Amino acid sequence: MNDALSTWPMTVKVLASLGLILAVHRRIGSLAAGVLLGTAALAAFSGRGGADSLRIAGDRLLSADNAFLMVAILLVIWLSSQMAGAGIMRDLVDVVRRRLGRRHAMALLPALIGFLPMPGGALFSAPLVDDCDRAGATAPIVKARANYWFRHVWEFWWPMYPGVLLAMHLTGVEVWQFMLLGLPLTATAVAAGYVFLLRGVDRGDPDPAGAPTPRGDGLARLLSPVLIVVAGYAVFRLAAGAARASWPALPEPGRYTPMIFGILVAMAALQRWRPLPRGEWRRIAGSPKTLGMAVIVAAVRIYGAFIEAPLPGAATPVGLMQAEMAHWGIPVTATIMLLPFIAGLTTGVAIGFVGASFPVVVSLMGADPSLRTVMAHTVLAYACGHMGQMLSPVHVCLVVTSEHFDTHPARSLRGLLGPAAAVILAALAVHAALLPGAAG
């Protein structure tokens, strides 16, 4: 059996492990178990022994980066729960619904939260989307898809996302150029999400007077916890950069540290504005759902470690998949699309697909490529990678959204095929406009 597995292409092995994750989850209803079994299958497919597998899993779980990620996830859940307990969620939904109606609120609320590049941020917006439909008129799967999709419409260009920053670094594209490349894709994502996901949702007429909430707080005030997180993130990044410029020996802060700082400041400000009693805080901190979410995220992180870890012989799974595509005679432009897409599908995170595939993508641009060539291939590669991570069963935001709405990830993903195809077609159009004739 092992000899037969060794002959399988790496592309087939990786896709088979993803299929196993979805199948196990559908069968027994546990996403964490599905991810762990998919990880074990990928390890076996890759010829890894037990000791090597334990080392990879342990290194990821015990890494400082993972520890900070888990802290950030917990703080996101706690801030979300704090906003709900303080009545912010309900008041915010009231303001948006009264001005826009149910259908538009289901798109706007997760999109607003999407400006905040927090890990698992769809969990933050899920209660808002759910609260738009207090009568239960909209199916949970529709709300799950809307929450997940609109949460990520800015990730094509918003420079606070680590994946965007890394892509700019690896390709040499300037910030303003990258933002211009991504804006048409965001417009397409919003339009396609509305057509494919929300067109059938009852509009729910807004209040013609735009009446304020019972507490009299406006939209900006109600969004202040989110705005504080963004401001805290930016202030921390600027302060850390200035400090390291003056004292170069200072260590680089972890990538999740600015977000943790911003969330803590927001929690403190919200507690001062609308304080919660100690009993409510004990309930928030001890919620079994919080622990279950942390277990699922940890399992997803372990799977990502096996995708990224070098195989015997020093090659990585993504590197082997690129070599397989070249061997199969897949054209360069198609490879620039497929490699980030598969990397996104398997890692479920932007910084994962960018870090794994963009060095190869840049090498495929040729020696001394023109700016138009770089920009054309960058927009195509990033759009395909982003759609790959959006269709990934191990994307943390999909995981937490599915858990919140009690829906199956595979059903959510099927509904996203149309919007994802529209985005990739838009990226091909931008690519063709920048580099006529390159599609061949």
Looking at residues 395-421, what average pLDDT do you find? 90
What pLDDT, on the 0 to 100 scale, is given for residue 118?
64
* Residue predicted with more confidence, 202 or 199: 199
**Contact yes or no for 260/230 (Cβ under 8 A):** no
Please tell me whether residues 262 and 351 are part of one structural domain. Answer: no
What's the length of the chain?
A: 440
Whether the CA torsion 75, 81, 83, 88 is positive or negative: it is positive
Closest listed residue to residue 396, CA positions, set 115, 31, 8: 31
Q: What amino acid is encoded at 278 in this protein?
A: R
Please tell me whether residues 169 and 250 are part of one structural domain. Answer: no
Instruction: Let me know if residue 48 belongs to a domain.
Output: no
Please tell me whether residues 169 and 108 are part of one structural domain. Answer: no
Looking at residues 46-63, what average pLDDT do you find? 86
List of residues 6+ apart from 40 with CB closer than 8 A: 53
Using alpha carbons, list the distances in angstroms from residue 206 to 22, 100, 102, 131: 39, 5, 8, 15
Residue 215 reports pLDDT greater than 70:
no
Joined together, the tokens standing for residue 251 give: 């260590």
Closest listed residue to residue 225, CA positions, set 162, 169, 274, 160: 274
Residue 408 reports pLDDT greater than 50:
yes
Residue 211 reports pLDDT greater than 50:
no
Instruction: Let me know if residue 187 belongs to a domain.
Output: yes
Q: What whole-number percentage of the chain has pLDDT above 90? A: 23
Q: Cα–chain-centroid distance for residue 356?
A: 16
**Contact yes or no for 346/35 (Cβ under 8 A):** no
Residue 349 reports pLDDT greater than 60:
yes
Please tell me whether residues 176 and 321 are part of one structural domain. Answer: yes
Instruction: Let me know if residue 53 belongs to a domain.
Output: no
Determine which of 270-274, 340-344, 361-365 has the lowest per-residue pLDDT on average.
361-365
What pLDDT, on the 0 to 100 scale, is given for residue 5?
61
Please tell me whether residues 85 and 221 are part of one structural domain. Answer: yes
The total number of structural domains in the chain stands at 2
Domain end marker among 287, 305, 331: 287
Please tell me whether residues 195 and 324 are part of one structural domain. Answer: yes
Please tell me whether residues 326 and 386 are part of one structural domain. Answer: yes
Instruction: Let me know if residue 56 belongs to a domain.
Output: no
Closest listed residue to residue 391, CA positions, set 324, 355, 345: 345
Residue 95 reports pLDDT greater than 60:
yes
Residue 315 reports pLDDT greater than 80:
no
* Helices and strands in the chain: count of H runs, count of E runs: 23, 0
Please tell me whether residues 438 and 340 are part of one structural domain. Answer: yes
For 10-121, where are the alpha helices, taking DSSP H only? 10-28, 31-45, 50-61, 64-85, 88-100, 102-114
Please tell me whether residues 281 and 398 are part of one structural domain. Answer: no
Maximal C-alpha separation, the chain: 71
Instruction: Let me know if residue 9 belongs to a domain.
Output: no
pLDDT tens digits along 255-306: 778 878 988 999 999 999 999 999 989 888 887 767 776 777 787 778 778 8
Instruction: Let me know if residue 42 belongs to a domain.
Output: no
Q: Which residue has the tokens 């969330």?
A: 263
Domain end marker among 287, 305, 329: 287
pLDDT tens digits along 96-142: 777 777 788 889 888 888 876 666 677 778 888 888 877 777 899 99
What pLDDT, on the 0 to 100 scale, is given for residue 119?
61
What pLDDT, on the 0 to 100 scale, is given for residue 25?
67
What pLDDT, on the 0 to 100 scale, is given for residue 234?
86
List of residues 6+ apart from 295 with CB closer than 8 A: 32
Q: Cα–chain-centroid distance for residue 56?
A: 23
List of residues 6+ apart from 27 with CB closer than 8 A: none
pLDDT band with cut points at 50, 70 and 90 for residue 212: very low
What pLDDT, on the 0 to 100 scale, is given for residue 168?
83
Distance CA 355, CA 175 (A): 18
Please tell me whether residues 318 and 417 are part of one structural domain. Answer: yes
**Contact yes or no for 232/117 (Cβ under 8 A):** no
Query: String of b and e for 234-255 (b: at least 16 CB within 10 Å)?
Result: eebbeebeeeeeeeeeeeebbb
Please tell me whether residues 221 and 126 are part of one structural domain. Answer: yes
Expressed as residue numbers, the domain containing 110 is 69-138+211-287
Looking at residues 131-154, what average pLDDT do you find? 88
Q: Which residue has the tokens 């991504």?
A: 182
Instruction: Let me know if residue 41 belongs to a domain.
Output: no
Determine which of 148-157, 311-320, 333-342, 418-427 has the lowest per-residue pLDDT on average.
311-320
Residue 240 reports pLDDT greater than 70:
yes
Instruction: Let me know if residue 320 belongs to a domain.
Output: yes
Look at residue 225 and give its three-state secondary structure.
Answer: helix
For 132-202, where are the alpha helices, taking DSSP H only? 140-150, 162-171, 175-193
Domain end marker among 243, 268, 287: 287
Please tell me whether residues 247 and 133 are part of one structural domain. Answer: yes
Distance CA 256, CA 273 (A): 26
Average per-residue pLDDT for the chain: 82
List of residues 6+ apart from 181 with CB closer than 8 A: 156, 157, 173, 375, 378, 379, 382, 430
